[in-house]
């Protein structure tokens, strides 16, 4: 099959254990937290930075367009088992019918880069990917000494659109504001507004991922991540039809 390839991806993250940092870094991370509640808040926020968090799941959906017809080439999730070394892996079937490939974080990144570069000139689709997913993946790769095979952050916000559609940027017309017509809304709100089923309707959202991961509920996280990917693709199609110049 030949045609333009579109790759939709999304990551789920969790904070690294606070006791995995030395005393000076723990003090730095918890500085100013005078109560247990404040400390818990800072610890939960560790999932948002690649220096204090880790990628625990990556969902991907690969679509090709030939003669104005879309075909799904591949869809599945890479899931990190914290007990796995870089030589361990397994493949499980999810209830949704998709595959869940379980491995270490370093192996997840290696597989992602190889998959990304196996398609010529892929067009990436994300929601806030330029603000979160892409830099997180790039920096976790560097920290784990996994060499990226593709620059997810190439270009500037003014010229990256030919190879990456970040739906959040498109919704704000590249002029995000705290209020008004170009206000930034979260994915759940935007999806529902465009008639797309929110991935959170099954009862899982990003705030619960860390707890689910600690409980070993890898399938639930993978299914949630894949619902995110599916909703991102459907939102892309809905927006592209009616908003000019979306690639």
Does any domain span residue 108? Answer: yes
DSSP bridge pairs for 2: none
Does any domain span residue 74? Answer: yes
To which residue do tokens 């997810």 refer? 152
pLDDT score at 2: 63
Q: Structural domain tally of the chain? A: 1
Strand 69-80 vs strand 90-93: parallel, antiparallel, or unpaired? unpaired
Does any domain span residue 82? Answer: yes
Q: How does the average pLDDT of the chain come out, rounded?
A: 96
Half-sphere exposure of 126 (CA within 13 A, CB side): 23
Does any domain span residue 96? Answer: yes
pLDDT score at 165: 98
* Residues 30-63 pLDDT 10s: 999 999 999 999 999 999 999 999 999 999 999 9
Which CATH number does the domain housing residue 220 bear?
3.30.420.10
Does any domain span residue 117? Answer: yes
- Mean pLDDT over residues 234-243, rounded? 96
pLDDT score at 187: 96
- Contact between 141 and 106 (Cβ < 8 Å): no
Which residue segment(s) compose the domain that 126 sits in? 4-242
Does any domain span residue 247? Answer: no
Q: Which two tokens stand for residue 122?
A: 């892929």
Q: Which of 5, 7, 14 is nearest to 224 (CA)?
A: 14
pLDDT of residue 1 exceeding 70, the answer is: no
**Which pLDDT band, with edges at 50, 70 and 90, does 68 fall under?**
confident
pTM for this prediction: 0.95
* Residues 177-210 pLDDT 10s: 999 999 999 999 999 999 999 998 888 988 899 9
* Residues 97-135 pLDDT 10s: 999 999 999 999 999 999 999 998 999 999 999 999 999
């Amino acid at each position: 099959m030949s045609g333009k390839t579109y790759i939709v991806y999304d990551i789920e993250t969790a904070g690294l254990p606070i006791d995995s940092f030395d005393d000076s870094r723990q003090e730095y991370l918890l500085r100013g937290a005078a109560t247990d509640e404040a400390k818990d808040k800072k610890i939960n926020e560790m999932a948002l930075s690649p220096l204090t968090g880790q990628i625990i799941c990556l969902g991907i959906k690969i679509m090709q367009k030939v003669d104005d017809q879309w075909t799904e080439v591949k869809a599945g999730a890479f899931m990190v088992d914290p007990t796995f070394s870089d030589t361990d892996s397994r493949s499980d079937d999810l209830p949704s019918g998709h595959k869940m490939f379980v491995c270490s974080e370093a192996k997840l990144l290696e597989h992602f880069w190889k998959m990304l570069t196996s398609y010529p000139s892929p067009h990436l689709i994300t929601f806030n990917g330029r603000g979160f997913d892409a830099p997180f993946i790039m920096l976790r790769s560097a920290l784990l000494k996994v060499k990226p095979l593709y620059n997810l952050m190439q270009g500037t916000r003014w010229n990256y659109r030919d190879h990456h559609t970040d739906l959040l940027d498109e919704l704000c017309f590249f002029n995000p504001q705290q209020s008004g017509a170009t206000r930034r809304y979260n994915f759940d709100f935007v999806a529902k507004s465009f008639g797309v089923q929110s991935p959170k309707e099954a009862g899982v959202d990003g705030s619960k991922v860390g707890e689910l991961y600690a409980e070993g509920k890898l399938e639930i996280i993978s299914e949630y991540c894949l619902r995110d990917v599916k909703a991102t693709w459907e939102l892309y199609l809905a927006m592209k039809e009616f908003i000019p110049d979306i690639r």
